[in-house]
Amino acid sequence: MHPLSLFHLGAGLLAVLAACVIFALPKGSRLHRVLGWTFVVAMGASLLAILVRTALAPRPFVVYAGGVLLVLVAAVAMTRARRRVVAWRAWHGALMALSCLAALMAMGGLVGGVALGATSGPAFYRQFNVVIAVLTVAGLAFIAMRPVLWGRVPRPAEATARRRYAALVLASSAALVAGQWPLAAG
């Protein structure tokens, strides 16, 4: 396996592990911030590694990886825009959740491919599209089951951000599945 692919996998695994712990922590705590930065650095490094490895080839997942990198940057930017964005917490959380979901989908696709003995080709992309669909629905359900954010009921601007987040997740996942459809068909 190419060294950049191994780095991508290792950094992505670190990001997923950090994200799993973050979801169980009180938001804004010191440990939340430390693990959040661990996630950002690991996820950013993982995405950059795969973008370099693929030489920015216009394949669906490469385009999606570039989009996730922009989402990650926007999530960090929201923490710096506290005075300018009313629902900055909602947007920060939503964009971080989207990048976490993307990491989980990538890991799920790789694990599924290894389990099937198909790490490329139509069989890989078919199972990957199933993983994307299942994790998109599960991720949105997980977020929807958390009606209280940061110790209080979401305000109107935060509720709007949450609805727009759900639309962004559905649209990006649908675009990825549609883009990979020809690869899945063979």
- Which residues, in sequence order, are bridge partners of residue 152? 149
Calculated CA dihedral for residues 174, 179, 184, 186, nearest 10 degrees: 160
Q: What is the pTM of this model?
A: 0.86
Listed in sequence order, the residues at least 6 apart from 37 whose beta carbon sits closer than 8 Å to its beta carbon are none
Compute how many other C-beta atoms are within 10 angstroms of the C-beta atom of residue 90.
23
How many angstroms separate the CA atoms of 186 and 182, rounded?
6
What residues make up the domain containing 144? Answer: 3-185
Residue 132 sits at φ, ψ, to 5 deg, of: -60, -45
Structure tokens at 4: 């950049």
Domain count, the chain: 1
pLDDT per residue rounded down to tens, the chain (186 residues): 789 888 998 999 999 999 989 888 877 789 989 999 999 999 999 999 999 998 877 789 889 999 999 999 999 999 999 889 888 888 888 889 899 999 999 999 988 888 888 888 899 999 999 999 999 999 888 877 766 555 567 778 888 888 888 999 999 999 999 999 999 998
